[in-house]
Amino acid sequence: MSRSQGSSSSLKRKRPGLSSPSQSLTDHERKLYDVIRSRKDMGIWTRDMKKETNLPDNVVNKSLKALHAKNLIKEVVNIQNKGRKHYMAAEFQPSKELTGGSWYVAGSLDTDFIRSLRMFCVKYIAEEKVATVEKVTELIRGNGAFAVEVTKQQVEEIVRALVLDDEVMEVMSNGTEEFGSVPVGNVCYKCVGKGRSGGVKAIIGAMASIPCGVCPRISLCTPDGVISPRTCVYYTKWLDF
């Protein structure tokens, strides 16, 4: 499984210490380093740094090797232009615009990670019958299947994709029966296809088809209130159906 070993990279910036190698640079190396460092987490293409510094190609190449040997810069992959050599100061982590975000590793889409995460999302939604993104994230983090920490945003993006693929459905909790563990009015998800192992189709309870299940005003609905089952045109249509 992808990302099953190793650890996640740190997102914190590292500042050069007092004895930093950057204090012992030649004029050409300093000029090139300042240009690269000024681009922060976006880095810079070699052709652009040559234009900005007005240094000859051989001087730029020599200076890049020296800066790299002193661990002051690093080469990074730009997913938009993988054939171009891109550099940034070692103290920065590449931006999402460069790397493609959490779904990419070394400039390539991590399909194994995405496939595994989809599988676990469907698995836990089916097991819970109804689950929020927070609950699914908690269960995935607890199973130890991934060496890196899966984020809530990643799970949310996967679940949205599953909704578009008609593998799960987004519903609003009414606080009763299978929704008992989810506060009233909160968005949650349930399987509509092959949720469980063996290809058994998830059973959708009768309450799921009631308009209350997706009503954004359900938390304000009371028997004798302004918003109530008695005055709800959608509930009346459902009863007539």
SS3 for 53?
helix
241 residues of the chain, pLDDT tens digit each: 455 444 344 334 444 444 455 567 888 888 888 888 888 878 888 888 888 888 888 888 888 888 888 888 888 877 767 677 888 888 887 777 676 666 777 667 788 888 899 999 999 999 999 999 999 999 998 888 887 788 898 899 899 888 888 889 998 888 888 888 888 888 899 988 543 433 333 334 444 445 665 565 566 677 766 567 777 766 666 665 5
Distance CA 60, CA 91 (A): 21
For the record, the structure tokens of 167 come out as 């593998």
Distance CA 201, CA 196 (A): 7
For the record, the structure tokens of 233 come out as 């045109």
Q: By C-alpha distance, which of 177, 173, 174, 208 is closest to 187?
A: 173
**Which H, E and C letters describe 56-94, residue by residue?**
CHHHHHHHHHHHHHCCCEEEECCCCCCCCCEEEECCCCC
Q: Residues 153, 176: contact at Cβ < 8 Å?
A: no
For the record, the structure tokens of 189 come out as 């998800």
SS3 for 45?
strand
Q: How many CA atoms lie within 13 A of 67 on its CB side?
A: 28
> Does the reported pTM lie above 0.85?
no
Distance CA 157, CA 161 (A): 6
